[in-house]
Amino acid sequence: MPLKLEVQNSPAEIQGVLISIDTATGKAISIERVRQLSAV
- In tens, the pLDDT along 4-17 reads 999 888 888 999 99
Please state whether 25 falls in left (phi above 0), alpha (psi between -120 and 50) or beta: alpha
Q: What is the pLDDT of residue 22?
A: 97
Residue 6 three-state SS: coil
Tell me which of 40 and 12 has the higher pLDDT.
Answer: 12
Q: What is the pLDDT of residue 40?
A: 63
Q: Which of 40, 39, 34 is nearest to 14 (CA)?
A: 34
Distance CA 13, CA 30 (A): 23
Distance CA 9, CA 39 (A): 10
pLDDT, one tens digit per residue, over 19-36 is 999 999 999 999 999 999
Q: Is the pTM of this model over 0.85?
A: no
